[in-house]
Amino acid sequence: MKKVFERPRLLKPATFHFCPGCGHNILHRVIAEVLEESDFRERAIMIAPVGCAVLAYFYLDIDVTEAPHGRCTAVATGIKRAIPNSLVFTYQGDGDLASIGAGETLHAAGRGEKVTTIYVNNANYGMTGGQMAPTTMLNQVTTTCSAGRSAEREGYPLDMSKILASLPGVCYVERVALTSPANVQKFKKALRKAFQYQTEGLGFSLIEVLSTCPTNWKLTPVDSLKWIEEVMTKSYPPGVLVDRKANRGDSE
Amino acid sequence: MLTKMVFSGFGGQGIMMMGYALANAVMKDGHEVTLLPAYGAEVRGGSANCTIAISDDEIASPVASAPEFIVVMSTPAFLRFQNHIKSGGMLILNSSLIEGETIREDIKVIPVPAGKWALELGDLRVANFVMLGAFARLTGLVALKSLEEALVSLFPARKAKLLELNQRALRFGYQTIEKEEK
Amino acid sequence: MKSSANKVLLSGNHAVAEAAIRAGCHLYFGYPITPQNEIPEYMSEHLPKIKGGAFVQAESELAAINMVLGAAATGRRVMTTSSSPGISLMQEGISYLAALELPCVIANMVRGGPGLGNIATAQSDYFQSTRGGGHGDYRTITLAPCTVQEIYDLTQLGFYLADKYRGPVIIQGEGLLGQMVEPVELKEPDKKDLPPKDWALTGAKDRPGRMLRSLILEEGILEEHNWKLNRKYLEIEKKEKRFESFRMEDANLAVVAYGSVARIAKGAIKRVREEGLKVGMIRPISLWPFPGEAIRKAAEKVSQFLVIELSCGQMIEDVRLALAGKAEVNFYGRPGGGVIPNPAEFGRVISRNYYQKVRKAR
Ligand SMILES: Cc1ncc(C[n+]2csc(CCOP(=O)(O)OP(=O)(O)O)c2C)c(N)n1
Ligand code: SF4
Ligand SMILES: [Mg+2]
């Protein structure tokens, strides 16, 4: 009998600590699947963030280091410069990347570091219990903007992908909404492409993932998916924000 | 004398409210009290619990390694906490939700159908205060009147109806146990 | 039984926030970190309702402490709070606050380290707080509460001392103290005899411009500035040492402990006293300035000291320095971030130390 579904080899036999219905569950699995293909695994070095995904090293059977909160892309720079042939990728939440790590992110991208970032946007600080993040949308309620985010009080949300896409050192930015099997495939394709571009030395690449956090959104897993489709994608529309190779006309 | 107890169940059952109500009541009665919610990683997975210590002297530690009284509102809480209880202590369980028996023979086990009684009052959400009323009667640690007064500071003035319902729940739990004892 | 008429139940974290607001601190800048998120959450709820109040969730602790620096420069009361990893990030700013002599209060709800550690309670940031933490020759007043009431009181005292001596004050809380709930009497803050803030930047209307600076290139002037800071630190050492002495009247053995460990040790001492052991405790309330004389003085009668900490041994260095070899110093500690010890455990350790000494003496 042919096996149609199995545990990716690179996923260690550990139980995820994530909440039920959390987008991190899916992402970890899919990353394992992509890494299994080609020679990615033996070159890969991952930088885990401070956030709900900090325990990535318990799940993925590849080389992983932790970084202080927000400093992933600085650590990635160090690794990549030390081993230029490695496949270096960071996995960061929106608080980690767009708030405390905004400086490191901007400058790694600005320098055009040949690393890849998976940017998990769940519009709040998951791990610390649902505080406002830079991505929290206007009127969205969190524990530190209990009256809903207001432009006057808390200021406007930041769209980091859009900002980064404008930098010449950045070769590829795509945003996907992790809401359906078809969209999961889109993420896989994007990740493969980002790894390919990194291997070709084209520059900094980033994939933003709109990802569920049912616990802090106080929604069921199913309603969380709906909320991404109906609310989040209005502020953060999925699609390719920049693809310099395609623009040059020499993509596959 | 120092007495320690744990209230436990799952998130949404109002476990912390029970703790706050009890702590408030014994504070107003002039006792020393500490209340310690479980925090952090422990909270994941939907469980909730808090530890209360009551004394007439300063309380050294808000933690209880072997509490005298444990109230469990859910099966996972029952499975987890039945072994913690001090020998000779009392385990009060929400028999509307919890099946299964304890293996401990050195403790007193008192089933209280808090869920069922709450439904008799028309609202399952007050099971926590039905239980707290029963707890007050069973342990003699706090007067019913003190608890009823403590609830006033837990509910904002505009929620008078809710306050009244929860006070009724306290009385119902207390008095039903009292009747059963007779 | 004590009067409890005007007491309310507060968690340690909420007590920090409420004490600050009542002390007139209506400006708060911070970044989320467990186990102290209840403080920014409380501030975000209450400060926007106060006229002139502001809460900003900063993009990092680095930004938060510099927002504090800016607000403090205007002479208004301001605070930030965090827990160990976040406090590490603030060290640069704290050095500048000390150099610029700007008052503010910083509460650290210490958690297990080093690195990310975990969110359980710990006392492993003693060195960081009492030795300055950042670069340069400076000190920060560090106050260590052991009850929620004391968290409230010391937070208010912190604002007072910050204004009095012009500098950052650290409230050395602990994860456990921040989470636990106890009755608190909401006292009114002391504001008497504070010097005027004639250095504050408020706009140079009808007066010459003022400057706040820590870059001092002129020959000999930086040295002079450091001497001036030093005179201030010496004055603080003279006037602001605080400690609690417990059952020391006839003690043969003195426990030295602070914060949560001290309250647990107190329970242990009561137990061993029932068995006839003559044990007392000195509890430093100000970790800097450290109440060294009190310990030295105790050594006139006590020959054995037992330092207990939720770390592998940090405060013990100050106890040894204070005693300068005058008495035997033993240590019992467990790294933070793990199990919270109970009075029975401390009681066993105290008895063991007590009887070993007695046996040796025979
Ligand atoms: C220096 C420092 N500050 C704060 C924290 C606390 N902290 C842990 S995770 C986190 C934010 C996580 O949010 P995000 O990056 O959006 O990841 P998510 O959990 O939502 O996936 C914060 C503030 C820390 N660990 N270190
Ligand atoms: S808190 Fe949110 S982001 Fe974190 S594991 Fe739970 S659902 Fe996922
Ligand atoms: Mg997030």
Q: Are residues C286 and C155 in the same domain?
A: no
With an 8 Å Cβ cutoff, are C32 and A102 in contact? no
**Chain C hits for A92, Cβ within 8 Å:** none
Which CATH number do you get for residue B50? 3.40.920.10
Dihedral, CA atoms, A67, A73, A75, A81, nearest 10 degrees? Answer: 160
Contact status, residue B39 vs residue B63, Cβ threshold 8 Å: no
Least confident of A26-35, A36-45, C166-175: A36-45
Phi, psi of B180 (to 5 degrees): -65, -30
Of A130, A160, A142, nearest in space to A70 by CA: A160
Q: How many structural domains does chain C have?
A: 2
A56-75 pLDDT, tens digit each = 999 999 999 999 999 999 99
Q: Is B19 exposed, middle or buried (0-12, 13-18, 19+ CB in 10 A)?
A: buried
**Whole-number Å distance between alpha carbons of A66 and C84:** 17
By most ligand atoms within 8 Å of CB, the mutation choice from A15, A120, A213 for ligand 2 is: A213
Note the pLDDT of residue C319: 98
Q: What is the mean pLDDT of residues C158-182?
A: 98
Q: Are strands C279-284 and C181-185 parallel, antiparallel or unpaired?
A: unpaired
**Ligand 1: residues within 6 Å at CB?**
A 49-53, 69, 93-96, 120, 122, 125-128, 133; C 31-33, 61, 85-86, 89, 116
Question: Would you mind telling me the total number of residues written for chain C in this entry?
Answer: 362
Of A84, A37, A44, A78, nearest in space to A60 by CA: A44
**Whole-number Å distance between alpha carbons of A15 and A178:** 21
Note the pLDDT of residue C3: 54
Q: How far is the CA of A125 from the centre of ligand 3 (A)?
A: 4
| DSSP bridge pairs for A209 | A120, A176
Note the pLDDT of residue B44: 52
**Percent of chain A topping pLDDT 70:** 98
A195-219 pLDDT, tens digit each = 999 999 999 999 999 999 999 999 9
- Closest ligand to C-alpha of residue A21 is 2
Note the pLDDT of residue B109: 94
Task: Choose among C32, C48, C62: nearest Cβ to A128.
Answer: C32
Whether C276 contacts chain A with CB within 8 A? no
With an 8 Å Cβ cutoff, are B63 and C179 in contact? no
CATH architecture of A23-251: 3-Layer(aba) Sandwich (3.40)
Other CB atoms within 10 A of residue C264 CB: 28
Note the pLDDT of residue A2: 74
Note the pLDDT of residue A27: 97
- Of B40 and A193, more confident: A193
| DSSP bridge pairs for A39 | none
Phi, psi of C256 (to 5 degrees): -120, 120
The tokens for C106 are: 């910083």
> Which chains lie within 8 Å of chain C at 3 or more CB pairs, if any?
A, B
Distance of CA C344 to the CA centre of its chain: 27
Which of the residues A47, A54, A69 would you substitute to probe the C interface, choosing the one with the greatest number of C C-beta atoms within 10 Å?
A69
Of C76, C101, C106, C113, nearest in space to C91 by CA: C106
Residue with tokens 């709906």: A226
**Whole-number Å distance between alpha carbons of C86 and C203:** 32
- Closest ligand to C-alpha of residue A23 is 2
Residue with tokens 């199995």: A6
- pLDDT surpassing 50 at residue C1: no
Helices of type H across chain C: 12-22, 38-46, 61-73, 84-89, 91-100, 126-130, 148-165, 175-179, 221-239, 259-274, 292-298, 315-323, 343-361
With an 8 Å Cβ cutoff, are C57 and A129 in contact? no
Phi, psi of B159 (to 5 degrees): -105, 45
A103-159 pLDDT, tens digit each = 999 999 999 999 999 999 999 999 999 999 999 999 999 999 999 999 999 999 999
Other CB atoms within 10 A of residue A64 CB: 17
C43-77 pLDDT, tens digit each = 999 999 999 999 999 999 999 999 999 999 999 99
Is the shortest distance between the CB of A18 and ligand 2 below 6 Å? yes
Q: Are residues C159 and C250 in the same domain?
A: no
Other CB atoms within 10 A of residue C245 CB: 16
How large is the C-alpha radius of gyration of chain C?
21
Other CB atoms within 10 A of residue A76 CB: 27
Specify the 3-state DSSP secondary structure of C341: coil
Residue with tokens 């990802």: A211
With an 8 Å Cβ cutoff, are B65 and C342 in contact? yes
Helices of type H across chain B: 15-28, 75-81, 114-120, 127-139, 144-154, 160-181
Ligand 1 atom 10 nearest Cα: A51
Note the pLDDT of residue B72: 97
Q: Are strands C104-112 and C118-121 parallel, antiparallel or unpaired?
A: antiparallel
Q: Distance of CA A24 to CAs A17, A60, A194, Å? A: 10, 13, 19
Which CATH number do you get for residue C174? 3.40.50.970
Note the pLDDT of residue B94: 97
**Whole-number Å distance between alpha carbons of C94 and C107:** 12
**Whole-number Å distance between alpha carbons of C297 and C322:** 10
Task: Choose among C41, C55, C59: nearest Cβ to A134.
Answer: C59
Phi, psi of A202 (to 5 degrees): -80, -15
Specify the 3-state DSSP secondary structure of B109: strand
Note the pLDDT of residue C83: 98
With an 8 Å Cβ cutoff, are C267 and B35 in contact? no
Least confident of A141-145, C151-155, C308-312, C356-360: C356-360
Which CATH number do you get for residue C269? 3.40.50.920
Phi, psi of C227 (to 5 degrees): -60, -40
DSSP H or E segment with residue C82 = strand C78-82
Angle at B163 between CA B160 and CA B169, to 5 degrees: 145
B150-172 pLDDT, tens digit each = 999 899 888 999 999 999 999 99
Task: Choose among B30, B37, B59: nearest Cβ to C179.
Answer: B37
B22-77 pLDDT, tens digit each = 999 999 999 999 999 986 554 555 789 999 999 999 999 999 999 999 999 999 99
Residue A6 — pLDDT band, cuts 50, 70, 90? confident
Q: Are residues C46 and C184 in the same domain?
A: yes
Q: Is residue C203 part of a domain?
A: no
Phi, psi of C46 (to 5 degrees): -95, -35
Other CB atoms within 10 A of residue B119 CB: 15
DSSP H or E segment with residue C219 = none
Stated pTM of the model: 0.94
- Mean pLDDT for chain C overall: 95
Q: Is residue C145 part of a domain?
A: yes
**Whole-number Å distance between alpha carbons of C19 and C15:** 6
Q: Are residues C64 and C44 in the same domain?
A: yes
Q: Order of strands, edge to edge, in the sheet holding B90-94?
A: B108-112, B90-94, B69-72, B3-10, B47-55, B32-37, C181-185, C7-11
Residue A251 — pLDDT band, cuts 50, 70, 90? very low
Specify the 3-state DSSP secondary structure of C83: coil
Task: Choose among A50, A100, A145: nearest Cβ to C44.
Answer: A145
Q: Which residues constitute the domain of residue C52? A: 7-196+213-239
Specify the 3-state DSSP secondary structure of A158: coil
Task: Choose among C180, C268, C270: nearest Cβ to B62.
Answer: C180
| Cβ-proximal residues to C240 (8 Å cutoff; 6+ apart), any chain | C141, C161, C286, C289
Tell me the ipTM for this assembly.
Answer: 0.94
**Whole-number Å distance between alpha carbons of A165 and A156:** 19
| DSSP bridge pairs for C331 | C307
Q: How far is the CA of A30 from the centre of ligand 3 (A)?
A: 19
**Chain B hits for C119, Cβ within 8 Å:** 39-41
Q: Which residues of A184-222 are buried (b: 16+ CB within 10 A; e: fewer)?
A: bebbbebbebbbbbbbeebbbbbbbbbbbbbbbbebeee
The tokens for C49 are: 């309702």
Note the pLDDT of residue B99: 85
Of B50, B65, B67, nearest in space to B9 by CA: B50
Q: What is the mean pLDDT of residues C244-265?
A: 98
The tokens for A56 are: 């990535």
Q: Which residues constitute the domain of residue B133? A: 3-181
A231 DSSP assignment: I
Note the pLDDT of residue B100: 77
Q: How many structural domains does chain B have?
A: 1
Beta strands in chain A (DSSP E): 44-48, 63-66, 87-93, 116-121, 170-177, 204-210, 239-243
Contact status, residue C27 vs residue C17, Cβ threshold 8 Å: no
With an 8 Å Cβ cutoff, are C32 and A144 in contact? yes
Specify the 3-state DSSP secondary structure of C113: coil
Q: How far is the CA of C28 from the centre of ligand 3 (A)?
A: 23
Contact status, residue C57 vs residue A132, Cβ threshold 8 Å: yes
With an 8 Å Cβ cutoff, are C180 and B35 in contact? yes
Is the shortest distance between the CB of A216 and ligand 2 below 6 Å? yes
Is the shortest distance between the CB of A53 and ligand 2 below 6 Å? no
Is the shortest distance between the CB of A93 and ligand 2 below 6 Å? no
